[in-house]
Each structure stands twice: as structure tokens, then as C-alpha cells.
Amino acid sequence: MTDQGPDACETDQLADVPVDDRPRHIAIIMDGNGRWAQNKGLPRIEGHRHGVNTVRMISETATELKIAAITLYCLSSENWKRPQAELDFLMHLLEQYLIEERRTIMDQGLRLKIIGRRDRLPEDVLTEMDRTLQMSANNAGTELVLAIDYGGRDEITKVTRDIASEVAAGTLELDAVDENTINSRLYTADLPEVDLLIRSGGDMRVSNFLLWQISYSEIWITEKSWPEFTRQDFLNAIREFHSRQRRFGGLNVNE
């Protein structure tokens, strides 16, 4: 389902959608930064710069709507194949974001969480990341999860190795390994299940993002690139989520 057709969101604050009927955890594939910039005759890096403004707007809106967690796909494990100049800018932008957004994070009561690998990130980025993580650790608002150098297959491989090591060491019985065993070892173990996956940019794929966690997520796709994604688009996605019947493999009672 995409955002085509009339605007489905009638109220700016979704007052008629109870908090308990909103998604608890929203994951977002923030696609289209580079294409947006190129379409405007700008360098690709300008798309990433403008995309930060959308991130700020989404975190503010999620806080207002009392969403428990939002997970943003910032850098995939495959993105290291991009030109070095673009990667250098992305690292600079990430470091800048971690510094400049601290006041906003604290004012909104956001609790920052980072998922993905750390070993390939520059030391200066890791330093600012850890400072912001520590500063926001006791906040009680929306959990702002940044997926950085993250890949779903890489995460599942890591969990599999960890479980295999525990079984080999005799600290975990093979017969005790089930879905809960895997869930408890994922980066997102302390977060609610992903209820809604949003993708900007129009592509119809999940791009190795939270492969285990989105098994029963509702999916909402917009043709808009991430820098042009609006608050209204975010509200529309939540409203459509509210309108869907989630069966989780079962049947609706009326069918």
C-alpha cells in the first residue's frame, strides 16, 4: 500500500486514534536522499543534509504521539560500497547530528539507542555517539533507535554464532533454543515488536533491514524521497495502520 489517493488523515494530531491503537514501534527506511538532490541539480550529499531535517521532524512527531520506539535505517552494511567522499560526508553528518541534536533529544525526553556494528565507525563518531547515549540513558520518552552499519543478515548471523557458542559451552541446551532465544539476543531485544515499516523513495523491498523483526509488520510505502517526507505523510501512515486488520497468520473472526 502506498500514499496514493486522497489524504486520509483528517486531524493533525490523530485525536480519534487512541494511543493504544497506534503502532508501538515504527521502523523507517529513509530512502531517496541522493535521488532527491540529483533531481534538483544538487550534489548527493545535499540530500543527506536535508534528510536530517526530516529525522528531526519525525522524532518530534513520534514524541507527541507517544510512540514507544522509532528505528531509522541510517547506514546499511552494504552502504560502504558507496564513493569514499560520500561516506566521509555521512560520517561527518552523523557526528554533527549527535552533537547538535543533544538539546533536542533531552528537551523531548528521547532515549537514544544505536544498533549495528561499531568496529568500522571512526573513533570521533564513536566518541560523540557514546556521549549522547550516556546523556539520554535515563530519559523516559520515545526510544530513538539509529541503525548504523546495520544489516539484518549480519545480525541474524551474529545471533546464530552466539547461540552456537553457548550450546557448545554447555550453558544452553539445544532443545531450549526457540524464537524467544533468538529474540532475546537481537539488538532490539528490549524494544516492542515492529508494528509498522515505512519506506520512502518508492522501492518495493526491505533492503536487509530488521529481517527477523518485521516478520508481521504492516508496510507503508511512499513515492516521496526522504527529504520531502512530511509530518502529514507520517500521520497518514499511522492512520492507515490503524485501519488495517492484522491477522498474524490467522483468520478474521468475520471470515
pLDDT value of position 229: 98
H/E element holding 196? strand 196-199
Query: Cβ distance 150 to 78 under 8 Å?
Result: no
Query: Cβ distance 162 to 185 under 8 Å?
Result: yes
What pTM did the predictor assign? 0.90
- Number of domains, the chain: 1
Higher pLDDT, 45 or 248: 45
Q: What percent of the chain has pLDDT over 70?
A: 92
Identify whether 165 is part of a domain.
no
Identify whether 182 is part of a domain.
no
pLDDT value of position 226: 97
pLDDT value of position 12: 56
Indicate whether 247 pLDDT > 90: no
What is the residue range of 205's domain?
20-151+193-243
The CATH code of the domain that includes 124 is 3.40.1180.10
Q: Name the pLDDT band for 11 (thresholds 50, 70, 90).
A: very low
Higher pLDDT, 248 or 28: 28
Identify whether 178 is part of a domain.
no
Q: What is the pLDDT of residues 108-143, one digit of tens each?
A: 999 999 999 999 999 999 999 999 999 999 999 999
- Cα angle 190, 196, 200 (rounded to 5 degrees) comes to 120
Q: Name the pLDDT band for 2 (thresholds 50, 70, 90).
A: low
Q: Which three cell numbers stand for residue 201?
A: 523513495
pLDDT value of position 8: 41
For residue 79, indicate whether it is catalytic: yes
Indicate whether 38 pLDDT > 60: yes
pLDDT value of position 245: 82
Identify whether 198 is part of a domain.
yes
Identify whether 253 is part of a domain.
no
Q: Name the pLDDT band for 225 (thresholds 50, 70, 90).
A: very high
Q: What percent of the chain has pLDDT over 90?
A: 84
Catalytic residue among 7, 16, 20, 79: 79
pLDDT value of position 161: 98
Answer positive or negative: Cα dihedral of 188, 189, 190, 191: positive
pLDDT value of position 87: 93
| Averaged pLDDT for residues 147-159 | 97
For the chain, what's the residue count?
Answer: 255
For residue 183, indicate whether it is catalytic: no
Identify whether 158 is part of a domain.
no
Catalytic residue among 3, 31, 149, 195: 31
Identify whether 175 is part of a domain.
no
Q: What is the pLDDT of residues 176-219, one digit of tens each?
A: 999 999 999 999 999 999 999 999 999 999 999 999 999 999 99
Distance CA 246, CA 248 (A): 6
H/E element holding 145? strand 143-150
The alpha helices in the chain, defined as continuous H runs, are: 33-39, 44-64, 84-100, 102-108, 123-136, 152-169, 179-183, 231-243
Q: In the Cβ-directed half-sphere of 228, how many Cα atoms lie within 13 Å?
A: 13
pLDDT value of position 1: 52
Identify whether 179 is part of a domain.
no
Indicate whether 7 pLDDT > 60: no
pLDDT value of position 250: 63
Quote the mean pLDDT of the chain: 92
pLDDT value of position 216: 94
